[in-house]
Chain A
Amino acid sequence: MANAASGMAVHDECKLKFLELKAKRTFRFIVFKIEEKQKEVIVEKVGEPTQSHEDLVASLPTAECRYAVFDYDFVTEENCQKSRIFFIAWSPDTAKVRNKMIYASSKDRFKRELDGIQVELQATDPTEMDLDVFKSRAN
């Protein structure tokens, strides 16, 4: 399954882990990395349900791009417990241009593989990945 724009394949594990997050809620977040040598997107890290948003921010490198999926739980005004699955395109300003290009061109194809994403977020620095941002986008 090659990506027409950048030629990146998506490893099967990515889709499997995502389905587990969606259906069984076994993970809080998953971080994906593009492995240039194998020319595919692989799972770099998963987070336990007990972990939180800060752990996700901590596991993202400061000068390299990543994709991440985060299961955000919140309580609405009517006191309902709800959750939203966020797709985060982590593209920090300090990353190299080539890195950003590869991730940007493969993003659409990759997102289509992950069926069930509710909100997409692009973050270029840690302030854009703040909990307030999640809260405002979750509505």
Chain B
Amino acid sequence: MANLVESYACTPSTERGRGILISGDPKTNAFLYCNGRSVIIRYLDRPLEVQVYAEHAYQTTVARFSPNGEWIASADVSGMMRIWGTHNGFVLKNEFRVLSGRIDDLQWSADGMRIVASGDGKGKSFVRAFMWDSGSNVGEFDGHSRRVLSCAFKPTRPFRIVSCGEDFLVNFYEGPPFKFKQSHRDHTNFVNCVRFSPDGNKFITVSSDKQGLLYDGKTAEKKGELSSEDGHKGSIYAVSWSPDSKQVLTVSADKTAKIWNISEDYNGTIAKTLTCPGSGGVEDMLVGCLWQNEYIVTVSLGGTIYLYSANDLDKEPLILCGHMKNITSLVVLKTSPETILSSSYDGLIFKWLRGVGYSGKLERKDKNQIKCLVAVDQEIISSGFDNKIWRIPLTGDECGEANIIDIGSQPKDLSVAIRKHELALISIETGVVLLNGTQVLSTVDLGFTVSACSLAPDGSEAIVGGQDGKLHIYSVNSESLTLKEEAVLEKHRGAITVIHYSPDVSMFASADANREAVVWDRVTREIKLKNMLYHTARINSLAWSPDNTMVATGSLDTCVIIYEISKPAASRITIKGANLGGVYAVSFVDNNTVVSSGEDACIRLWHVAPQ
């Protein structure tokens, strides 16, 4: 049986030019954000604990806890809202189609009975408020002509709703049943966020015109503004009140977060500026914020979450980082404790330490996309979508100067001789390229379409898998640099996707796009274990356990299956739903732990107990 040991979560999905809305539950210190089709629940005091809700069929946009902490309402780009329980396995309470387009913001009323949601209604209603359990409307919301980016519910009686959007308007509704009361057009650009103070007396709107305006909570009269002296120099994307209603936190595209003191005359003066401690690129623009109890959370465009302590603002923030996109490869380095390197589709390579979590980002000078990644002791070899292979020396946490080798065609698969790691084999469209260090030794045209390749640890043998499912074994002659074909093995009925030698080189395993994996004996080239056909979609990745007894396969069908070589394939351990969207990389950390990663940008460690 397999159980989840550790989970390295993904970061919120962000979009350039727009803010994101994160929310939390003050009672349990949890905070919520969305990535892909999932809602991620994390805890401010326990960053390694992660829960994922993955029931939406479309990309999720915003999620909020109900005031009593029992329910979470989450919304997606198709206009659906799901209300589900926080405990008890996320049981679904209700599902409503709220708007006909994407939902950008939603908020519960303070008594937890009503929900207001706003977004893009495609010409029809942009804002809707309804009872949480029956879905019946509690008001008419007209007055907007374009996408409504944010809405807020006044937390104290008399209830009011404010909405603001891309038409530069801030609309005020009285009720229930809610009716349009007033509209303000004081901003000169998109109004990104509106929030009521926790005591209900004031509300603040922030906009891409770098201003923040304060209004009276009951009458909606504009009363004051955030002072422009020392103000933001870029669009303000989000705002959050402190629990005592005396301060607000704003984050902006100028890469700073500012804390303002709000005085009784509705004017804000700056109390503190927090600059994003990143390397200063576009990905340090801050797009989301939350002030909960004594934690201040800011989220950058690159997806990094910074946790500050409200009592001690000068302290270095805790940085929570992760992948935002599909993780395409995983490598386990043999250090102790085990270090896992993960690389994602957008070219980011992160280091993770088992038991600790995020431990650093490998700074690379060029951020091109990565398709394949292999790491040996002090070096990383990667390939992307252009014709180049990158050999990057690794010293501790730093990447040295990359050696870029142009091999003339797009690399499809990459393999390194583990014991002689200057030798690398790269498969291209109709052949393979042999690399020694940074020199292309030879390019061999094999005459068939190659889909996967593997080089033996001592570099003397290579196995190349073709599109037709045949495995060609070649002996590599390092003097004359030729490949001599030794055998052709036919068993697979689909294009070969991955081939790996076992750590003791006595066996090798291959997997194909037709869901089948086979283990062969290296010397006799006979099949050792067959019928490994339990996946229901193409196999993306394969790994051997360090003691040569188990093989793990990860597939597009989101499962990871672990087979024991000594037992028939039927007695297998299946991890269902290891990574929503498909498992793209799988590896063994030690003899009993498997790590898997995939489309959902999360990395999970599983403990496997042999039966």
CA gap between A94 and B531 in the complex, in Å: 13
- Please name the residue on chain B nearest to A54 by beta carbon: B568
- Please name the residue on chain B nearest to A132 by beta carbon: B570
Of A34-42, A63-71, A122-130, the segment with at least 4 beta carbons within 8 Å of chain B is A122-130
- Please name the residue on chain A nearest to B514 by beta carbon: A93
Name the interface residues of B507-549: CB closer than 8 Å to any CB of A. Answer: 531, 533-534
CA gap between A71 and B159 in the complex, in Å: 69
Cβ contacts under 8 Å, A54 to chain B: 568
Looking at A125, A126, A127, A131, the one whose CB has the most chain B CB atoms below 10 A away is: A127
CA gap between A94 and B491 in the complex, in Å: 10
Main secondary structure of the interface of B (DSSP, over half): loop
Is B534 within 8 A of A127, CB to CB?
yes
Is B493 within 8 A of A127, CB to CB?
no
Q: Which of B493, B531, B534 contacts A93 (CB 8 A)?
A: B493
Q: How many of A's residues come within 8 Å of B, CB to CB?
A: 8
Cβ contacts under 8 Å, A131 to chain B: 570
Name the interface residues of B551-603: CB closer than 8 Å to any CB of A. Answer: 568-570
Cβ contacts under 8 Å, A126 to chain B: 531, 533, 569-570
CA gap between A125 and B515 in the complex, in Å: 12
**Closest CB of chain A to B561's CB: distance in Å?**
11
CA gap between A130 and B534 in the complex, in Å: 10
Cβ contacts under 8 Å, A130 to chain B: 570
**Closest CB of chain B to A80's CB: distance in Å?**
26
Cβ contacts under 8 Å, A94 to chain B: 493
**Closest CB of chain B to A60's CB: distance in Å?**
12
CA gap between A130 and B531 in the complex, in Å: 11
CA gap between A127 and B530 in the complex, in Å: 11
Cβ contacts under 8 Å, B531 to chain A: 125-127
Cβ contacts under 8 Å, B493 to chain A: 93-94
**Closest CB of chain A to B528's CB: distance in Å?**
16
**Closest CB of chain A to B87's CB: distance in Å?**
28
Name the interface residues of A86-135: CB closer than 8 Å to any CB of B. Answer: 93-94, 125-127, 130-131
**Closest CB of chain A to B147's CB: distance in Å?**
48
Is B570 within 8 A of A125, CB to CB?
no
Cβ contacts under 8 Å, B568 to chain A: 54
Cβ contacts under 8 Å, B569 to chain A: 126-127
- Please name the residue on chain B nearest to A131 by beta carbon: B570
CA gap between A127 and B574 in the complex, in Å: 13
CA gap between A127 and B533 in the complex, in Å: 6
CA gap between A12 and B533 in the complex, in Å: 37
- Please name the residue on chain B nearest to A126 by beta carbon: B531
Cβ contacts under 8 Å, A125 to chain B: 531, 533
**Closest CB of chain B to A16's CB: distance in Å?**
33
Cβ contacts under 8 Å, B570 to chain A: 126-127, 130-131
Cβ contacts under 8 Å, B533 to chain A: 125-127
CA gap between A130 and B561 in the complex, in Å: 15
**Closest CB of chain B to A136's CB: distance in Å?**
14
**Closest CB of chain B to A52's CB: distance in Å?**
12
CA gap between A126 and B568 in the complex, in Å: 11
**Closest CB of chain A to B219's CB: distance in Å?**
65
Cβ contacts under 8 Å, B534 to chain A: 127
Cβ contacts under 8 Å, A127 to chain B: 531, 533-534, 569-570
Q: Per-residue CB proximity of A30-74 to B under 8 Å, as 1/0?
A: 000000000000000000000000100000000000000000000
CA gap between A24 and B568 in the complex, in Å: 32
Looking at A54, A94, A126, A131, the one whose CB has the most chain B CB atoms below 10 A away is: A126
Q: Per-residue CB proximity of B454-496 to A under 8 Å, as 1/0?
A: 0000000000000000000000000000000000000001000
CA gap between A130 and B568 in the complex, in Å: 11
**Closest CB of chain A to B553's CB: distance in Å?**
13
- Please name the residue on chain A nearest to B533 by beta carbon: A127
**Closest CB of chain A to B513's CB: distance in Å?**
14
**Closest CB of chain B to A58's CB: distance in Å?**
10
CA gap between A108 and B234 in the complex, in Å: 74
**Closest CB of chain A to B58's CB: distance in Å?**
32
- Please name the residue on chain B nearest to A130 by beta carbon: B570
CA gap between A127 and B514 in the complex, in Å: 14
- Please name the residue on chain A nearest to B534 by beta carbon: A127
CA gap between A54 and B493 in the complex, in Å: 25
CA gap between A130 and B493 in the complex, in Å: 21
- Please name the residue on chain B nearest to A125 by beta carbon: B533
- Please name the residue on chain A nearest to B568 by beta carbon: A54
**Closest CB of chain A to B251's CB: distance in Å?**
52
CA gap between A130 and B588 in the complex, in Å: 27
CA gap between A71 and B313 in the complex, in Å: 73
**Closest CB of chain B to A20's CB: distance in Å?**
29
**Closest CB of chain B to A131's CB: distance in Å?**
7
CA gap between A52 and B435 in the complex, in Å: 53
Inter-chain pairs besides A126-B531, A127-B531, A130-B570, 12 sampled, C-beta below 8 Å: A54-B568, A94-B493, A125-B531, A125-B533, A126-B533, A126-B569, A126-B570, A127-B533, A127-B534, A127-B569, A127-B570, A131-B570
B residues in contact (CB < 8 Å) with A: 493, 531, 533-534, 568-570
What are 16 contact pairs spanning A and B, CB under 8 A?
Answer: A54-B568, A93-B493, A94-B493, A125-B531, A125-B533, A126-B531, A126-B533, A126-B569, A126-B570, A127-B531, A127-B533, A127-B534, A127-B569, A127-B570, A130-B570, A131-B570
Q: Please give me the 9 A-B residue pairs with the lowest Cβ-Cβ distance, nearest first.
A: A127-B533, A126-B531, A127-B534, A125-B533, A130-B570, A127-B531, A126-B533, A131-B570, A93-B493
